[in-house]
Amino acid sequence: MAVIKIMDELLANKIAAGEVVERCASVVKELVENSIDAGSTEIKVELEDAGTRQIKVIDNGKGMDKDDAVLAFSRHATSKIDDEDDLYRLTTLGFRGEALASIAAVSKVDLKTCMGEIGTHVVINGGKILEVGLGDARKGTTITVSELFYNTPARLKHMKSLYTELASITDYINKLALSKPNIRFTLKNNDNVILKTDGSGNILKVIQSIYGTDVARKMVPIKGENADYEISGYISLPEVHRSSRNNMVTIVNGRVVRNMDINRTINDAYHSYKPDNRYPITVINIEVDPSVIDVNIHPTKMDIKFSKMDTLLELIKVTIFAAITDRNLIPEVSIRKEKPKREELRFDLERHSHTEPKVETESIEFEEPEIPVNESIYEDENNGDIVHEVVMENDEYKINTKEKEFMPEMYPVGLVHGTYIIAQNEKGMYIIDQHAAKERCNYEKFKEAMGKPNIASIPLLFPITIELSNDEFIILKENMHILENLKFKIEEFGINSVIIKEHPAWLPKGHEEESIRKIIEIVIATKKDFSIEKFNEKVATMMSCKHAIKANTNITMEDMEALISDLRNCKNPFNCPHGRPTMIYYSNYDLEKLFKRSGFDTIK
């Protein structure tokens, strides 16, 4: 008797649903991507209880006739590709023909669609077609998915909380809106509007809808290209960062994708401009010949493979670095009223309803004149700023940009708590953290010294002997050449010991032995994947911190002036090596507003 047999189609669709339909957000993703592929310019997503009860997607796309509306729910039915060659030149978001069959197998589906004249209405429960009839004549498609996983209770009990499901759906619609700014998206949950975009094609407007005006004002446009890739989009100034990588959005040929290598490269480009455990907000569009990428490696189509990945990563890193250097990055302290935020809507998990949004206001008893809003940030794709365009010429990247003020001139007037330098100019007031500022100056000095091939060395009058454990000695012995290249004269000295007879001239006087021991510790700690670049980075950071001005240390006015002068000569004077700001800025307007002078002619 035969043991192997053909699987029932409904069972096969339920199994496929396990890969394609993981949660409510998966359903929303597949339905909305179908709407985009249908040429829709307006898409509405309406949820009940975060989609656990019902998901409705309404679009104004081209719609389907009666035959296609029924066939669309068959497994491997698609209008996106015809043959194998089409897999290598995909221009649509969907193409596998699995989504609708998988969704219908584990839910109740109601489809209304029309191409402009006669509409079609299809009702499906658990993969079985119950009704096919006439529908509304409105051009486009409305598809309602209810009671998801009602017939697969094992999957249903693994659903996350309502708030988690809503957050996942919101996150994906946000990213889709960023990838398709020319489409009007509306997302509602229990009749509460979560996101609404205008479809104007302006990415900055979408960023404002998602993150708010303050973030939109601090986004920098980027543009770069090489022989294989073109990139464009917006990145946040280093002062704007989040605790999660989730706000680093990568879009390839209009498709939102995930790629850890790209995220790592973006974060590396911000190195020393922000804390290492914080991540920027970025929207990066990558345009590439479809034949260079492979989308068909996972049912969700969010993980893709790139050919010539190294050239893409280098282009991204160079373009981002060019955009955040050579500009004034001093964080400005702005004084303005807080307004209610849509993201502060709290989900009442017990009653499946929303509570009222929390409203925060300033503790000021009388009205202040509002800061005028510069609407040009929505009209000008460049946000009123320069675009750093990176192009490949003769196998080297060339940065096309305009000259603009870097770090402004400022003059010290005093010191607070032996820690913060107060400086001023005609534009306002600056508060400088003297420890962070000195760290930056030290860091760049040590980094430059370590990068020079002919470093001067100084013999030690009394050589330093360092004893190690046997495993530490083995690692150090293997990497002894690194220290020798830095002009250390180091030799084995008995069992598990080394002796230092010379050291590079850039070691700070009076702290030679302490510095040498710290450098050897760094060599030993880097056991695998040793990189001379990362080693130099760690050493320079360690040295800069150890030998910076400590807090609660009073320095003279001449010392303050010298520190500010040294800071102005740094490549990045705005952050210490750990990414903390070296200074903050109060404009004259904000100072006057703090003291209630702004807008009141009677106060002089």
For residues 101 and 42, is the Cβ–Cβ distance under 8 A? no
For residue 261, is it within any domain?
Answer: yes
* Region of residue 268 (left: phi > 0; alpha: psi -120 to 50; beta: else): alpha
Measured distance CA(56)–CA(146) in Å, rounded: 8
Percent of the residues in the chain that have a pLDDT greater than 90, as a whole number:
38
Kindly report the number of other CB atoms within 10 A of residue 572's CB atom.
21
In residues, how long is the chain?
604
346-385: b or e for each residue (b if 16 or more CB lie within 10 Å)? ebeeeeeeeeeeeeeeeeeeeeeeeeeeeeebbeeeebeb
CA distance 133 to 67: 11
Distance CA 396, CA 257 (A): 28
Rounded distance, CA 602 to CA 212, Å? 35
Quick one: pLDDT band at residue 68, thresholds 50, 70, 90? confident
pLDDT score recorded for residue 308 = 84
Is residue 546 classed exposed, middle or buried when 0-12, 13-18 and 19+ CB atoms within 10 A define those classes?
Answer: middle
Same domain, 120 and 230: no
pLDDT at 555 over 80: yes
- Written as six digits, the tokens of 187 are 């997302």
Number of domains in the chain: 3
Q: How many helices (H) and strands (E) does the chain have?
A: 18, 28
Same domain, 319 and 385: yes
Which of 546, 571, 598 terminates a domain? The answer is: 546
What CA–CA distance (Å, rounded) separates 318 from 225?
10
E-only strand ranges, 356-395:
388-393
8 Å CB contact between 388 and 319: yes
User: What span, in angstroms and rounded, lies between the C-alpha atoms of 411 and 416?
Assistant: 15
Taking residues 343-372, what's their average pLDDT? Answer: 39
**CATH number of the structural domain spanning residue 477:** 3.30.1370.100
Contacts of 156 (CB under 8 A, 6+ apart): 148, 149, 150
User: b/e string for 192-230 if b means 16 or more Cβ within 10 A?
Assistant: eebbebebeebbbbbbbbbbebebbbbbbbbbbbbeebe
How confident is the prediction for the chain on average, in pLDDT? 80
Strand partners, 105: none
Residue 421 counted as domain residue: no
The pLDDT-based confidence of 153 (bands split at 50, 70, 90) is confident
Is residue 188 helix, strand or coil? Answer: strand
Instruction: For tokens 């200074």, name the residue.
Output: 583
367: confidence class by pLDDT, cuts 50, 70, 90: very low
Cα-based angle 173, 178, 182 (whole degrees, multiple of 5): 105
Residue 279 lies in a domain: yes
Query: Which structural domain range is residue 125 located in?
Result: 9-196
As a whole number of Å, the CA-based R_g of the chain is 30
Instruction: Answer yes or no: do 132 and 275 share one domain.
Output: no
Residue 34 contacts residue 99 (beta carbons within 8 Å): yes
Query: What per-residue confidence (pLDDT) applies to 93?
Result: 66
Query: pTM above 0.95?
Result: no
DSSP state, residue 183: S
Contact 390, 398 (CB under 8 A): yes
Cα–Cα distance, 429 to 360 (Å, whole number): 27
| Same domain, residue pair 394 and 479 | no
Mean pLDDT of 336-363: 43
Q: Are residues 378 and 514 in the same domain?
A: no
Least confident segment among 240-249, 333-342, 514-523, 594-603: 333-342
In a shared domain, residues 269 and 343: yes
Kindly state whether residue 249 falls inside one of the protein's structural domains. yes
**Helix, coil or strand: residue 553:** coil
Residue 585 lies in a domain: no
- Reported as a pLDDT band with limits 50, 70 and 90, residue 345 is very low
